[in-house]
Amino acid sequence: MIADFRAALAALILAFAPTSVAAQQPDKPKVVATFTILADLARQIGGDRVTVETIVGANADAHSFAPKPADAKILAQARLVVVNGLGFDAWSKRLIEAAGYKGETLIASAGVTPRRAEDDHDHGHAEVDPHAWQDPANVKIYVANLRDALSRVDPAGRESYAARADAYGKQLDALKQEIGGALSAIPKERRRIVTTHEAFGYFGQAFDVAFIAAQGVSGEGDVSAKRLGALIRQIRAEKIPAVFLENLNDPRLAERLAKETGAKIGGALHADALTPAGGVAPTYLDMMRSNAKAIADALR
């Protein structure tokens, strides 16, 4: 009788086993990040315990992203959605609703002191600058938020997330020291740069570099002839040493500025998106080092 029962139970377990075990790893939480920088941070803190997917991919512009209905599929089975907040990826709200996602959404920038955008050149209204990740000290706040959110959705991983967050926090401290050291070697009056969109305000605050932007914080729209003329006069009058291209923008603007002012065109700066693996900025730490080197090289 007992043997029969065991056999029946074994048959039952076998019958259910393939669907619950073989296909995927049901206990590995799936994290979906709105863009590549957040995805990298989620991987750094999540490690092997999580899978991470990105809505807006490498070298793509998350400001102007317009989700299509098919993009909602990425949220299926997600256990945590990570957004930047500060108005950067506000489109994610519609996508989350469209997907019927009911799980936790983490605003990674929660607790960061927001910086007011300059943005007085085109439409006069002040906005919050969303690019908080450009200061490694802010990323320590992102990392603490990620550690806590991952621990909520996967309590068994709490110790692992805490250890990884600690270790990564030390790398962020070292990064800030390293960049600060490299840039402080450049005379303060030379630490002035024109960029295409206003993405480096937090970097500028952190490392005492003045960034003058041709466009607002979203990097969208054309630069008016008036704005371009004003920038050219400012670069000449203040002898601003360098103009930078970005991975997201039309390079013609910076080329024209450089041609008409004699300012040097710096190498590519990466503001909002990492490069694919094999590029110069496949991780956040690589991106910051690559930007700092490009800036130091142009100003030297």
Residues lying near Zn ion in the complex (CB under 5 A): 199, 271-272
Alpha carbon distances (Å) from 170 to 47, 104, 164, 175, 202: 16, 27, 10, 9, 20
Q: Give the residue with the Cβ less far from Zn ion, 79 or 270.
A: 270
Instruction: Tell me the three-class secondary structure of the chain, residue by residue.
Output: CHHHHHHHHHHHHHHHHHHHHHCCCCCCCEEEEEEHHHHHHHHHHHHHHCEEEEEECCCCCCCCCCCCHHHHHHHCCEEEEEECCCCCCCCHHHHHHHHCCCCEEEECCCCCCCEECCCCCCCCCCCEECCHHHCHHHHHHHHHHHHHHHHHHCHHHHHHHHHHHHHHHHHHHHHHHHHHHHHHCCCHHHCEEEEEECCCHHHHHHHCCEEEEEECCCCCCCCCHHHHHHHHHHHHHHCCCEEEEECCCCCHHHHHHHHHHCCEEEEEECCCCCCCCCCCCCCHHHHHHHHHHHHHHHHC
Q: At its nearest, how many Å lie between Zn ion and the CB of residue 185?
A: 28
Q: At its nearest, how many Å lie between Zn ion and the CB of residue 248?
A: 7
Q: Give the residue with the Cβ less far from Zn ion, 132 or 271.
A: 271
Which residues, in sequence order, are bridge partners of residue 195? 213, 244
Q: Give the residue with the Cβ less far from Zn ion, 61 or 154.
A: 61
Tokens representing 174? 């070292």
Q: At its nearest, how many Å lie between Zn ion and the CB of residue 199?
A: 4
Q: Give the residue with the Cβ less far from Zn ion, 132 or 165.
A: 132
Q: At its nearest, how many Å lie between Zn ion and the CB of residue 128?
A: 12
Q: At its nearest, how many Å lie between Zn ion and the CB of residue 205?
A: 16
Q: Give the residue with the Cβ less far from Zn ion, 119 or 272.
A: 272
Name the pairing type of β-strands 78-83 and 30-35. parallel
Q: Give the residue with the Cβ less far from Zn ion, 53 or 65.
A: 65
Q: Give the residue with the Cβ less far from Zn ion, 89 or 272.
A: 272
Q: At its nearest, how many Å lie between Zn ion and the CB of residue 40?
A: 16
Name the pairing type of β-strands 210-215 and 30-35. unpaired
Q: At its nearest, how many Å lie between Zn ion and the CB of residue 272?
A: 4
Q: Give the residue with the Cβ less far from Zn ion, 149 or 287.
A: 287
Q: At its nearest, how many Å lie between Zn ion and the CB of residue 88?
A: 7
